[in-house]
């Protein structure tokens, strides 16, 4: 399995307005073309946070633990549509109530994303797809103990410390 480098992504300004389109390959090659993504942090009622394990074949951050759900918004899709689609595709969850936490620009050496970050509380069944290398619930303390140890993606660590657990 591998990512489709020809998949078309919308290009946006920092407010999320559509300004063009480019391929996944173009967006992930260091061009810094700003493209939108959705994140959902899935908590259970005990306050634990579900994290997915990225498979080794991913083009960005293979093998790391990451946000419960994260995915690109397709060309012509709204944030809400993309969130519902990604949550269904990655975890098999169809009945959830998302709460928008923040939107911000994340930049790494290879890409620049406009992230729309959400959270939800969910105690139902989770069925990670073959897109993932599984996942599990982590206690907040367990996450804190592993920060900065190359266990998590840099994007998740930044979002955890600034959006989910602000000082």
pLDDT digits (tens, 9 = 90+) for 116-126: 999 999 999 99
Domain assignment present for 94: yes
* Total domains, the chain: 1
**How would you classify the pairing of strands 112-121 and 69-72?**
unpaired
Task: For residue range 72-89, list pLDDT tens digits in order.
Answer: 999 999 999 999 999 999
Determine contact, residues 163/101, Cβ cutoff 8 Å. Answer: yes
CATH of the domain at 37: 3.90.79.10
- Residue 41 inside a domain? The answer is yes
CA distance 3 to 114: 20
Give Cα separations from 142 to 94, 139, 151 (angstroms).
Answer: 28, 5, 11
Smallest Cα–Cα separation from 91: which of 119, 74, 71, 68? 68
Residue 2 lies in a domain: no
Distance CA 145, CA 134 (A): 21
Evaluate whether 39 touches 157 at the Cβ level (below 8 Å). Answer: no
With respect to residue 1, please indicate whether it lies within any of the assigned structural domains.
no
Structural domain contains residue 98? yes
Instruction: Print the domain residue range for 63.
Output: 8-164
pLDDT at 4: 76
Is residue 3 situated within a structural domain? no
């Amino acid at each position: 399995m591998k990512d489709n480098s020809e998949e078309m992504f919308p290009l946006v300004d920092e407010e999320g307005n559509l300004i063009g389109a480019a391929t996944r390959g173009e967006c992930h090659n260091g061009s810094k073309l700003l493209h939108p993504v959705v994140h959902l942090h899935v908590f259970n009622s005990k306050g634990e946070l579900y994290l997915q394990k990225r498979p080794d074949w991913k083009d960005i951050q293979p093998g790391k633990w990451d946000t419960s759900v994260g995915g690109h918004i397709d060309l012509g899709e709204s944030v809400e549509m993309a969130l519902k689609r990604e949550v269904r595709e990655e975890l098999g969850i169809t009945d959830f109530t998302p709460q928008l936490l923040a939107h911000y620009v994340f930049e790494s050496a290879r890409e620049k994303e406009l992230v729309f970050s959400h959270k939800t509380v969910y105690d139902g069944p989770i069925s990670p797809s073959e897109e993932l290398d599984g996942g599990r619930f982590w206690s907040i303390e367990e996450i804190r103990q592993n920060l900065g140890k190359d266990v998590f993606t840099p994007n998740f660590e930044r979002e955890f410390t600034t959006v989910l657990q602000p000082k």
